[in-house]
């Protein structure tokens, strides 16, 4: 059973460009979470999705950031008009049920130049 | 709001010895989970151990065990017989009733000395 797959592993964008981060949850997992890790810090919750629904986006910046988890395909975290402060590692996690432990992917390191 | 505090940015331990990593938390919830995650240089987040707050018995996973003091809101991780592969950043985390939104501490970098 493959783990949580995130791609790309590394992503470099210039200021003002768009970044798209992809996450395929583990097989059988319908709950997806996105976390952000700034340098030298712990992970910070961004958003929690189930298929086609955003359940909790309380950790998501109000502007430029959006997330989706369509019926078919991976979950996408989209950052528009990236700025240097968006440089971070973005982690996706999935679980089969709401109260099950999270399984994390290896993260995508976004660098904004 | 929940907070998780790890007061030891760095720790070191001799191979085969025992080390304890500290974690305290604050929460207004009565039903919650606590976790320790390990993050090696590969950056992968690996679940080490999980504790349900309603359980009085401390969780144990092989060489890893916790000391859960609910009244003191303390959740320390003990690693016995430390191995070189245990070297990593260790994060303590709190999850609410549904455990869906985890709050992480700032991490403790563990070095294992041969």
pLDDT digits (tens, 9 = 90+) for A63-104: 999 999 998 899 999 999 999 999 999 999 999 887 778 899
Nearest-5° Cα angle at A109, B49 to A84: 125
The closest alpha carbon to A73, from A20, A36, A110, belongs to A20
What was the pLDDT predicted at A99? 72
Calculate how close chain A gets to B70, using CA atoms only, in Å. 20
Please compute the mean of the pLDDT values over residues B83-106 and round it to a whole number: 87
Chain B residues contacting A via beta carbons under 8 Å: 4, 33, 35, 37, 42-47, 50, 91, 93, 97-107
A76 contacts chain B (CB < 8 A):
no
Please compute the mean of the pLDDT values over residues B45-57 and round it to a whole number: 91
Q: Given a cut of 60, is residue B57 above it in pLDDT?
A: yes
Question: Is residue A105 within 8 Å of A74, Cβ to Cβ?
Answer: no
Query: Would the CB atoms of B91 and A42 count as touching at under 8 Å?
Result: yes
What was the pLDDT predicted at B2? 83
Going by C-beta distance under 8 Å and a sequence separation of 6 or more, which residues neighbour residue A3?
A26, A103, A105
Q: Given a cut of 70, is residue B98 above it in pLDDT?
A: no
Please compute the mean of the pLDDT values over residues B41-48 and round it to a whole number: 90
């Amino acid at each position: 059973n493959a783990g949580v797959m995130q791609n790309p592993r590394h992503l470099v964008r210039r200021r003002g460009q768009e970044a798209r981060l992809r996450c395929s949850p583990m097989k059988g997992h319908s709950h997806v979470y996105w976390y952000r890790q700034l340098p030298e810090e712990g992970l910070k919750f961004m958003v929690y999705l189930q298929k086609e629904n955003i359940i909790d986006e309380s950790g998501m910046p109000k502007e430029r950031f959006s997330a989706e988890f369509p019926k078919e395909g991976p979950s996408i975290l989209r950052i528009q008009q990236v700025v240097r402060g968006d440089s971070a590692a973005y982690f996706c996690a999935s679980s089969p049920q709401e109260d099950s432990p999270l399984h994390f992917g290896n993260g995508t390191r976004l660098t904004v130049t | 709001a929940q907070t998780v505090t790890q007061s030891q940015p760095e720790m070191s331990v001799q191979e085969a010895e025992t080390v304890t990593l500290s974690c305290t938390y604050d929460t207004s919830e009565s039903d919650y989970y606590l976790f320790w995650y390990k993050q090696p240089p590969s950056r992968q987040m690996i679940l080490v151990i999980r504790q349900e707050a309603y359980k009085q018995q401390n969780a144990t996973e092989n060489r890893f065990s916790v000391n859960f003091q609910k009244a003191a809101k303390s959740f320390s991780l003990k690693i016995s017989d430390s191995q070189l592969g245990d070297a990593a950043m260790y994060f303590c985390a709190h999850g609410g009733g549904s455990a869906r939104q985890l709050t992480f501490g700032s991490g403790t970098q563990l070095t294992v000395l041969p």
